[in-house]
Every structure is written in C-alpha cells, then in structure tokens.
Amino acid sequence: MIDLSQNKILITGAGGFLGKHLVGNLVNKRNVLENNLFLPSFEDLDLTKWENCQKAVEGQDVIIHLAASVGGIGLNQEKPGELFYDNAIMGIQLMEAARQANVKKVVLIGTICAYPKFCSIPFREEDLWGGYPEETNAPYGIAKKALLVQSQAYRDQYGLNSIYLLPVNLYGPGDNFNLESSHVIPALIRKIAEAKKDNKESIEVWGTGSATREFLFVEDAAEGIILATEKYDKSEPVNLGSGMEISIKELVELISKLMEFKGEIVWDKTKPDGQPRRMLDVSKAEREFDFRAQTEFREGLKKTIEWYLNKS
C-alpha cells in the first residue's frame, strides 16, 4: 500500500470538477501536503504537446491522470475528431513520459463510454471488448480505451505500475452547468431553475426518456480513485460506480420533484438517447480495494441542486 502523504503527486485536470474534490480529499483526509501536489492547469501545461508531458512528470512519484476533453452527446457529435485526438494524445504521451522518468505509479481514468453499445447489465469489466461503443461517443470512448491497452503493454514490457479505472457518470457540487457541454444532471437542474425563474410552463429534454443511466456522487468517485491509488496494483480495469440504474424519464421526474417544478416535460425525440442502458457491476472495486459508494442518490441530488441555486 502506498502512503500518499510521503510521495510527490501529479494530478492532471486538478482544476476540473472531479480534480477539485480529489485534491480536497488528499489534503483533508490523507494529510498530503500541498507542497507535494503538482496541479498544472491546461494553460500551464497543454498535455497534447510532448515536451509539456516531460515537464509534468519530472520529479513525480505518482500520477493521477484526470485531464480530459469531455462533454455530453451534443459536444461528442459536434467535435468527435477533437475529442478523439486530445484524449488519446494526452494519455499516450503522459504514460510514455512517466515510463521514461521512472514514475512509481500511474492512475488512468477511463470512461463508461468505452463499453459496447449493447452490453449485458450490469457491465462487467470482462465485457469491455465485447462490441463497438455507442456511436455518438465512440471516438471519445475508444481514445480512452486505447490507454488501457497501452497501460497493460507498458506493464508487460517495462514493468510500469499503471492502473485503469472506469468511473460511471459523475454528478455533484461544482459540476459543469454549461448547457453547451454539460451532462444530463447539471443540464436538467439548470433548465428547471431557469424555467422557474422565467415562469415557463415547460422544459425540453433530449431523446425519449427510455435510456437508463447510473450516477456516482463526485466525492465518492474521488474516494474510490484514491483507494485504488493506495491499494490496487493490477493490470485489469476496475469499474467505479454506485450500482444503481435509473431511466432518464425517472431522473427528470425526480429532479422536478426536488426542485418543485410542475411544468410539462417536452421530449425532443429527434435527438439521440445515447447508449440504451448503463449500470456497472461494482463488486470488483469492493473486493480489490474496499470501495463502496456512500452517498444515496436523492441526497446527492439535493446537495447538487442546493450548490447550483446558491451559485447562480
């Protein structure tokens, strides 16, 4: 087990939604000194450039690679090439730089989008290569999945201790509420808040509402990543999730109820649903590094709504 308080840690994407919660956990719960954390922003070091990856890893013991170019279905449809290139090149170069610098451990964050479009429920890690991902986010999913192949190849050839985690959709305080690029929960919260403010009688939601999703509270995700960093040293990927499943229709109804919105939900069925169903088998994370999500979904939603309403 790694004592993170005794190591120099690079966190890419530390200024992002998940990154801020991860840094908070390390400082407040793991007693990691801020002096031991290297938290470069995209403006500091653009990791699509090789020389910046070399600079980033210099003198580091542990790398947690969170940085990603990411968004909802709309952004994936608008910029598939950009999302593929940026996510692949950042991870590939960073891992190579870490190998050359003899970094002790690399933690790679994959994506639920890497799973096949049609996959038995719950998704087991062994199912990852069972088919092509859902088309609207396949370029992003495959770019991230390529890093698993690199991770395993580098372990086999060079002995690099790199691990690969597959978190489900995250939500919570500090999420991205930009309607152009946000995921479903923050988008719904913002739409409903604005509809109430403007006295609108309806909101529009993409798709049919039939697709299902699983969600993991961001503080739970941060804890899961840190537990894996401390305790897990194997090449096989591990799911990080809550083990719950909810349809988008039920999700809209629940958020509407929590926000006391009584207007009509207008479904834009010309827009895609995305992957039909998503729910993870989360037993491996509990077995390998004692991770189990702690936040009940309704409570997590309340905290997220409260944070957004206080900020807006």
Asked if residue 91 has pLDDT above 70, the reply is yes
| pLDDT for 26 | 98
Q: Which two tokens stand for residue 203?
A: 């909101």
pLDDT at 123 > cutoff 80: yes
Residue-wise pLDDT for 6-65, tens only, equals 999 999 999 999 999 999 999 999 999 999 999 999 999 999 999 999 999 999 999 999
Closest CA to 212 of 181, 251, 177: 251
Mean pLDDT, rounded, for 86-113:
97
Which residues, in sequence order, are CB contacts of 155 under 8 Å at separation 6+? 161, 162, 235
- Position 196 pLDDT exceeds 70: yes
Annotation marks residue 115 as catalytic: no
Cβ atoms of 141 and 80 closer than 8 Å: no
Residue 181 pLDDT? 76
Band the pLDDT of 163: cuts 50, 70, 90.
very high
Cβ 292 vs Cβ 282: under 8 Å: yes
* Catalytic site residue from 140, 154, 171, 308: 140
Residue appearing with tokens 């083990």: 243
pLDDT of the residue at 69: 81
pTM of the predicted structure, to 2 decimals: 0.94
Q: Copy the structure tokens of residue 237.
A: 């990927």
Coil, helix or strand at residue 155: helix
Asked if 72 and 140 count as a contact pair (C-beta separation under 8 A), the reply is: no
- Domain limits, the chain: 4-171+215-243+278-294
In this predicted structure, the answer to whether residue 180 has a pLDDT above a threshold of 90 is no
pLDDT computed for residue 140 by the predictor: 93
Higher pLDDT, 136 or 193: 193
User: Would you state the pLDDT for residue 295?
Assistant: 98
SS3 292: coil
* Average pLDDT taken over every residue of the chain: 95
Q: Is residue 76 predicted with pLDDT exceeding 70?
A: no
pLDDT per residue as tens digits for the range 256-310: 999 999 999 999 999 988 888 899 999 999 999 999 999 999 999 999 999 999 9
| Predicted local distance difference test score (pLDDT) of residue 79 | 87
Task: For tokens 């998503």, name the residue.
Answer: 278
> In terms of Cα–Cα distance, which of 49, 67, 69 is closest to 10?
67
Give CA angle at 156 (152, 161), nearest 5°: 65
Helices (H) and strands (E) in the chain, counts: 10, 12
Does domain 4-171+215-243+278-294 fall into CATH 3.40.50.300? no
Predicted local confidence at residue 219, as pLDDT: 98
